[in-house]
Amino acid sequence: MDNPEAGQPTADTRPLPINEVRMFAEALEAIRSAYVQDIDDQTLIEYAIRGMLAGLDPHSAYLNANDYDSLQESTEGQFGGLGIEVGEEDGYIKVITPLDGSPADRAGVMAGDLIVEIDGRPLREMIVNDAIEMLRGEPGTTIDLTLMRNDESEPIDLTLTREVISVESVRHRMLEPGYAYLRIAQFRVNTGEEVVKALETLIENNGGPLNGMVLDLRNNPGGVLEASVAVADAFLTDGQIVYTEGRMNESNETYQATASDPSQGVPLVVLINTGSASAAEIVAGALQDQGRAVIMGTRSFGKGSVQSVLPINNERALKLTTSLYFTPSGRSIQAFGIEPDISVDEALVTRSLERRGIYSERDLEGHLPGVNENSDREPSGPRPVTSSEQIVVSDYQLNEALTLLKGWHIMQRSRR
């Protein structure tokens, strides 16, 4: 999760370790004097800074001018490439999630895949930013990926075509009368505003308050911290959303919900999976701890750190992990994730949508006639496919969420 406007850190008053600085200077001089090729000092210093940051954690990095531009493009929602959010794990490049509708998504790249080769070049021990640079390129050009997947014994080879990736942050639709679906693909600067507008549209289209809503955060890699706070605030009227702790004064923040309620208290199920990371986990954790939503799906990714962009000279910057975030109950989800309230694995449901061979008492020859026998008899032949049945086949987790909301509504109605 990025904090793109962190500014300069508070100065550390400890003296520089003279012996270690001297050792670095000696190493630099030895490389300048003895390395087989002549390398300019700026390049060597950049290599050293990259190495320092790469040794800290998978999310800290040195950003040259091109890297910084790419970071801004990704948070603003448009860039060229394959649409893959990646990180580093045990020296390999790991897919956090493919972005909705991207070339990677359409080709079947999945969260958790390890990218072991790009265009035949092994990626073992490659810096994440260098791998991202290889994945990006001119729209229309092709790239060959070799993936390893947990449940596959053989590598998976894919050829993809790069595109201009325009990430649609928020999508929404009605599942059925009274029941809405809200999908957040990534947390960008304006995502909170887009969610509020989507809620207003859904309630207006329904002609009043909704019976239930599914908030889909699956395969959401995160994004801007403030956007996740704004989204959680759209469903909460009071209480804490998240707090962060770090060594800089500005890294210690507490974010509270405001009294406004654009969701109008709609019963809520939040879908998460292993591709739900960072800002997505903040939203899920806040809504779970505050008892505002039922969290359904599989355990999330577990990225509980905040990265700040700290400018240095000549349009360069450090993307540095500066704090950890905690849910309202004090949980850190770093390397653990959000555990759903109801665990539902992804599943492919294969069944006919047409009514075939379904018999009841009234289909038996010579059955005793019933008083209401003909009041609800369906016409013969295949019946139209309902939206609920289509969801069963295309998205099992979504169907389970919708079923839970319907049962919730029936129980509440029966108590009135």
Return the active site residues.
278, 289, 303
Quote the tokens at residue 22. 């001297």
Residue 354 DSSP label: S
Alpha-carbon Rg of the chain, whole angstroms?
Answer: 26
Report d(CA 362, CA 370) in Å as an integer. 8
List all residues 6 or more positions away from 133 whose beta carbon is below 8 Å from its beta carbon: 66, 67, 70
Q: For residue 375, give both structure tokens.
A: 């009041």
| CA distance readout (Å), 21 to 39, 112, 140, 291 | 21, 39, 47, 52
What is d(CA 187, CA 169) in angstroms, rounded to the nearest whole number?
7
- In whole angstroms, what is the distance from residue 257 CA to residue 24 CA? 48
Collect all residues with Cβ–Cβ distance below 8 Å to 292 and sequence separation of at least 6: 235, 236, 268, 286
What are the beta bridge partners of residue 163? 81
